[in-house]
Amino acid sequence: MKSLKEILYKTGITKVIGTTEIEINSICFDSRNLKPNDLFIAVIGTQTDGHNYIEKAINNGAIAIVCEILPEKIVEGITYVEVENSSFALGIIASNYFSNPSSKLKLIGVTGTNGKTTIVTLLFQLFRSLGYSVGLLSTIQNKIDDKEISATHTTPDAIQINKLMKDMVSEGCEFCFMEVSSHAINQNRIAGLEFAGGIFTNITHDHLDYHSTFDEYIRVKKKFFDDLPSSAFALLNVDDKNGKIMLQNTKAKKYTYSLKELANFKCKIIENQFEGLQLNINGTDIWFKLIGEFNAYNLLAIYATANLLCENESEILTILSNIDSAEGRFEFVKSKSGIIAIVDYAHTPDALKNVLNTINAIRTMNEKLITVVGAGGDRDSKKRPLMAQIVSEKSDKIILTSDNPRSENPEEIIDKMKKGVEPQNSRKVLSIINRKEAIKTACALAQPKDIILVAGKGHEKYQEIKGVKHPFDDKEILMEILLDKNFNN
């Protein structure tokens, strides 16, 4: 238990009714999960407003309420704390309640449209190999050393984050590597966290269903760097045209990485093949298992981060050269006849362009490139035609299919995608709503040495349709087909 006075420190209080000299059992922003003597924080969310549940929270046992707007009915014996912003206060309260665990870790946050998962996952693997106890917060999974905790969002809520970090501290972790999404920044899920460093990968067209405009998306990402302390470092991909904006107002120490410009950390691609990459990083030639220019950026960011955290340069590069890619990021399945199938999470125009450019830069052009792709329902619909345009220009055959249609009609999603296909590329396009059938068709169309890209879902093990998550794994389906002994016989 913690005293209410203690956990309200730095929350931006504007008014208090009642006493803060009380003991709080736990903290909660969902009235359904409350227990006696809990603190309820009324957060204004995108779907619901916690202020509408204050009375229910009190009935369920809450002894204190944090809110932006005090209710008309004040219940005797209940403490009410009015704050400027309840979602911000939630982050601070969560951090205070769990004894500010982020201050006891070297917490590194990675933000940007693409590359976040690969960078945090490989940093986790690298620092584990260097002998450290390490925590990971990512889209794919949350981990404390070898212990796995399932992930439901790119960034969990503020209470979950601080609980996980408290567990990391208890388990002896020295580092934590964390994906920082624009949603998490905007919703104050990272408020109260003390970062030792921040990494910016790139920023492209994404999440405009949530942020409304690209300028707003940039502003939200920039806030992460604006809030970094002077003791932290800010590492920027200087090749991104919007990147320099990120560091304009940061108090953190500024560092850059680049494949094309002058920077603190430089990299040059020597060879780029399906077997891997040969890079020259700050004057050292080394071979990596990862593939493509986008992974050259990821590897350089990882190298730079480890360098800034004072690790040995040769040891960093040696370990990185033996590390495999993150799950669902350019993963291979290869048939006996030589068909190469690639599973990748690419679900934005820029990510698709990166993956397709990588494949086209490596292939001989004597083989066909068949791409299976869809677009998520209830998400930014403006990117759908652009995704189809990019894929139809850079593939020999494309099969438009379902991704996670969610509440939308998958046929309507595909129709919106088709609008981006130029007339001269329309003959390349097939539409197959059932994703499994689309993958089967791609395999049936492929000849020996052809390349299949199945894009959009990557590591996901489900397909969300009408509010239900059905088991679905792109890689597993490809393996069933391509590794069948009768395939291509």
Q: How would DSSP label each residue in 129-168?
A: HTT--EEEE-SSEEEETTEEEE-SSSS--HHHHHHHHHHH
Structure tokens at 1: 């238990």
- The pLDDT of residue 96 is above 60: yes
**pLDDT higher than 90, residue 214:** no
pLDDT band at 209 (very low <50, low <70, confident <90, very high): very low
Residue 325 maps to a domain: no
Q: Which percentage of the chain shows pLDDT scores above 90?
A: 83
Same-domain status, 151 and 297: yes
Using the predicted structure, report yes or no on whether residue 217 has a pLDDT greater than 90. Answer: no
Residue 166 lies in a domain: yes
Which of the pair, 487 or 14, is modelled with greater confidence?
A: 14
Query: What is the widest separation between alpha-carbon atoms in the chain?
Result: 79
Helix (H) or strand (E) holding 471: strand 468-471
- DSSP state letters, 411-463: HHHHHHHHTTS-GGGGGGEEE-SSHHHHHHHHHHH--TT-EEEEES-TT--EE
488 pLDDT band (50/70/90 cuts)? low
Q: Do 142 and 59 sit in the same domain of this protein? A: no
390 and 243, same structural domain? Answer: no
Q: Using an 8 Å Cβ cutoff, are 143 and 124 in contact?
A: yes
Q: Are residues 113 and 257 in the same domain?
A: yes
Pair (62, 121) in one structural domain: no
In a domain, 487, yes or no: no
Q: What is the mean pLDDT of the chain?
A: 93
- End-of-domain residue from the set 97, 114, 143: 97
| CATH code of the domain covering residue 380 | 3.90.190.20
pLDDT > 70 fraction of the chain, expressed in percent and rounded = 97
Domain count within the chain: 3
Q: Which domain covers residue 44, as residue numbers?
A: 2-97
Tokens standing for 394?
Answer: 């850079």
DSSP state of 406: B
- The answer to whether residue 18 is domain-embedded is yes
Do 248 and 162 belong to one domain?
yes
Domain-located, residue 488: no
Return the SS3 of 362: helix
Give yes or no: residues 73 and 125 share one domain: no
Q: Which residues contact 20 (CB under 8 A, 6 or more apart)?
A: 3, 4, 5, 8, 79, 81
Altogether, the residues listed in the chain come to a count of: 489
pLDDT band at 489 (very low <50, low <70, confident <90, very high): low
Residues 286 and 413 grouped into a single domain: no
Domain assignment of residue 421, yes or no: yes
Q: Are residues 212 and 303 in the same domain?
A: yes
The CATH number of residue 131's host domain is 3.40.1190.10
Give the pLDDT score at 301: 98
Domain assignment present for 379: yes
Tokens of 21: 């000299």
Would you state the structure tokens that stand for residue 255, as one six-digit string?
Answer: 């560092």
Q: In angstroms, rounded to a whole number, what is the distance separating the alpha carbons of residues 197 and 119? A: 13
Give the other-Cβ count within 10 Å of 132's Cβ: 17
For residue 212, what pLDDT is reported? Answer: 56
Domain boundary among 70, 97, 124: 97
Q: What is the mean pLDDT of residues 152-170?
A: 87
Among 332, 331, 313, smallest CA distance to 300 is for 313
| Average pLDDT of the residues in 437-466 | 96
**174 & 252 share domain:** yes
CA-wise closest residue to 363 among 348, 343, 342: 342
Of 125-134, 164-173, 214-223, 381-390, the range with the lowest mean pLDDT is: 214-223
Query: Among 74, 97, 120, where does a domain finish?
Result: 97
Tokens of 354: 């990166």
- Asked if 177 and 300 sit in the same domain, the reply is yes
